[in-house]
Every structure is written in structure tokens, then in C-alpha cells.
Amino acid sequence: MIVVLKPNYQEAQLNSLRKWLKSLSIDIQVNEGHSQTVLGLLGDTTTLDSDLIRALEFVESVTQVQEPYKKANRKFHPDDTIVRVGEVEIGGGSVTIIAGPCSVESPDQLCSIAQSVKAAGAQLLRGGAFKPRTSPYAFQGMRGRGIELLLEARKLTGLPIVTEIMDLSQLDLFAEVDVIQVGARNMQNFEMLKELGKSDKPILLKRGLSSTIQELLMSAEYIMSGGNSNVILCERGIRTFETATRNTFDLSAIPVVKELAHLPIIADPSHATGFSKYVAPMALAAVAAGADGLIIEVHNDPPHAMCDGIQSLTPGDFAELATRIRATAPYAYRRGAEGGTNL
């Protein structure tokens, strides 16, 4: 951590800081510049709250050198983490496809889609039981009943299921769910992250609409610091000024996360773009950039979907896309053992 002092600081202030940091096993090295004094904080500063330093009256600015996350950090865990869901492995060079409807709507709808996506090669089934909707007047999901239907679809197809939790009070209903999804709006629901850290169930953690990649990794760190390292990250678009797509798909997050962390990262082209017509090109782009998987919305009857139908593919389109994903995967970028500069 680098601390720049204000020009008029007092020696006594610096000594008191030095004493406090010493108690945390952190040393200070002082650089007297021609116009300013700069401190180098030497030691393990990962868990030091930089805001405490920044708040000191005689401090001008603080720059973190070490990443503020440890358990997610690739520096301390150079190998890719592989998250296992039943027999499926997410991470480590394969491209896992998760597919299914935006919302669970009925037994028929779900079973039909589950069978289609399985036939097309999907390895996990997704489906929303609890739906976060901007309007209180919009369909809020089938809730507990939706989870029952997902479990039935799993029995039918053998596909493990992924579904979103919206509040900790729902946790008991997720006992049989294979992968618990934390949605973009809950990425910084820290009480939820802590609780999920106590489980060993795989967690699909979606990036928040306005969250930086570092914040995404800090939220993974919340789960991991509780003891659960089965975290799958997901890039699903960030909010910017551009309105031609629902969000802006930040595909660069894939190589950035691969460099900084050892966790698998998948991509969600359906939510990122918001239009089914852009799902195929952006799914292929995500694969080429090195994503460990894709999560794609599929609907057997898009016009009658209860929500988000506009971004869902038909089963036929999905099957065609899955074929192309498999064809593209061998040509995808993979990070070399030496890190990012290698092809």
C-alpha cells in the first residue's frame, strides 16, 4: 500500500501511524520526494482497511498495490479451480453449456425445454422460480412450486439444475438444488454471501450491473472466506450509456478474471444483450475469449414467455448454436502457463 502525505504533515502524526501499523506487523518505508512524502507499507496489507488510512487528516491519497482478495487470488493459487456439479466439471479448459427458460411457467413448458436442451447438448438446466422484476405488477415467478418443477425436470432428464435465490428466507427450498445462483442485484448482498459461504454447494455469482471486476472478486471472497470455494463467476453485462443492447457485455472481463483469479467464469449473452438476435454472435465471442461456459435462455414459445422472452432462443436456434459452440471451442483463447502475454 502506497500512502502519499499532505505537504504539511507533522512528525508526531507519522509516528502514531507507524506505531499502529507495527501492531499489525506492517512496516513503513519513507520516501522524501521533492514536493511530497510518500510511504511504502510493507507486509501483508490484504486485510488492512485502506479507508482507515485514507481518513487520516494528514494523508492525501492511498493506493493499493496488493489485491484486497486472497482466497480468490491466482497469485496464491496458480492452477484453475474446477467446480464439480455431479459429473459436470466447470472450468479447466472445457466449455459448459447451461440452458433453459427465463422463468419456470408450467410442467409442460419446463419438461419440453429441458428435453430439447439436453438433446442439443446442454449440461445443466437453468430456470427461474423466484424472479426479480423491476415492477411490482410484473410476474414474480412460481416460487416454491417452480423449484419443485425444476427437481422433476432433473429427474426426467438427469440434468443438474441452476436457479436463483432472492432472499435468505428461501434457503431451505434450495436444499436439493445443484447450483444456487446469486443474481446481479444480490452480488453485494453481503449477508447472503456470508450464509452461502457456510454451505459447500456450488454458487453461480453474477456480476452486478455496476460492479467492477474487483468488486465481483471481493464478493467471491465473501463466499470463499466462509469456507465455500465452489464459486462460478458470471459476466452478464454492465450498465453504460449505450441503449442498443440491454446492457453492455464486458467480454474483456473474461481474460481479466482469468489473470487475477483462479475461479471459472462463464458468460450470459441473453441478459447481456437483451435480444435473441444478438445471442449467437456474442455466445461465440465469449467462447473465443476463453469463457468456461455459457448460460443461455431458451423458450419453446418465446412470444408467450412470462418474462424476458425477447432474449430467449427457440430450441431449434439453440441446437444450431450449441453445434457452433462446440466447433468454435477448440480455437478459443486459453491462458498459457506463463500468464496473459502468451497466446
Site for a second copy in 57-116 (CB under 8 A): 57, 61, 63, 65-66, 68-69
How far are the Cα atoms of 35, 100, 153 from residue 160, in angstroms, in the given order?
61, 12, 9
User: Candidates 87-95, 104-112, 117-125, 253-261 — which segment interacts with a second copy by CB under 8 A?
Assistant: 253-261
Q: Is 32 in the site for a second copy (CB under 8 A)?
A: yes
Residue nearer to a second copy on the CB measure, 177 or 332: 332
Contacts 24+ apart (CB under 8 A), 103-106: 103/127, 103/128, 103/129, 103/131, 103/139, 103/141, 103/142, 103/146, 103/305, 103/306, 103/307, 103/308, 104/128, 104/129, 104/141, 104/142, 104/146, 104/149, 104/150, 105/142, 105/305, 105/306, 106/149
Residue nearer to a second copy on the CB measure, 88 or 95: 95
Query: Which 164-193 residues touch a second copy, going by CB under 8 A?
Result: 166-170, 185-186, 188-193
User: Candidates 77-85, 104-112, 154-162, 239-247 — which segment interacts with a second copy by CB under 8 A?
Assistant: 239-247
Q: Is 327 in the site for a second copy (CB under 8 A)?
A: yes
Residue nearer to a second copy on the CB measure, 112 or 328: 328
Residue of 2, 10, 24, 108 that binds a second copy (CB under 8 A): 2
> Binding string, 284-313, against a second copy, x = CB under 8 A?
xxxxxxx-----------xx-xxxxxx-x-
Residue 285 CB, shortest distance to a second copy, in Å, is: 4
- The bridge status of strand 231-235 relative to strand 265-267 is parallel
Q: Which of 222, 253, 202 is nearest to 69 (CA)?
A: 222
Residue 163 CB, shortest distance to a second copy, in Å, is: 15
Cell numbers standing for residue 277: 438476435
Give the separation between CA 66 and CA 49, rounded to whole angstroms.
12
Measured from the Cβ of residue 135, the count of other Cβ atoms closer than 10 Å reads: 7
Residue nearer to a second copy on the CB measure, 106 or 212: 212
How far from chain centre, in Å, is Cα 138?
26
Q: Is 23 in the site for a second copy (CB under 8 A)?
A: no
Residue 4 CB, shortest distance to a second copy, in Å, is: 5
φ, ψ of residue 231 in degrees (nearest 5):
-110, 130
Contact present, 263 and 218 (Cβ < 8 Å) = no
CA dihedral 282, 283, 285, 291 (to 10 degrees): 130
Residue nearer to a second copy on the CB measure, 38 or 151: 38
Give the separation between CA 326 and CA 148, rounded to whole angstroms.
31
Residue 93 CB, shortest distance to a second copy, in Å, is: 14
User: Candidates 81-89, 105-113, 120-128, 330-338 — which segment interacts with a second copy by CB under 8 A?
Assistant: 330-338
Residue 217 CB, shortest distance to a second copy, in Å, is: 10
Query: Look-up: residue for cell 439436453?
Result: 118
Residue nearer to a second copy on the CB measure, 148 or 301: 301
Residue 219 CB, shortest distance to a second copy, in Å, is: 8
User: Candidates 52-60, 84-92, 103-111, 116-124 — which segment interacts with a second copy by CB under 8 A?
Assistant: 52-60
Give the separation between CA 343 and CA 338, rounded to whole angstroms.
10
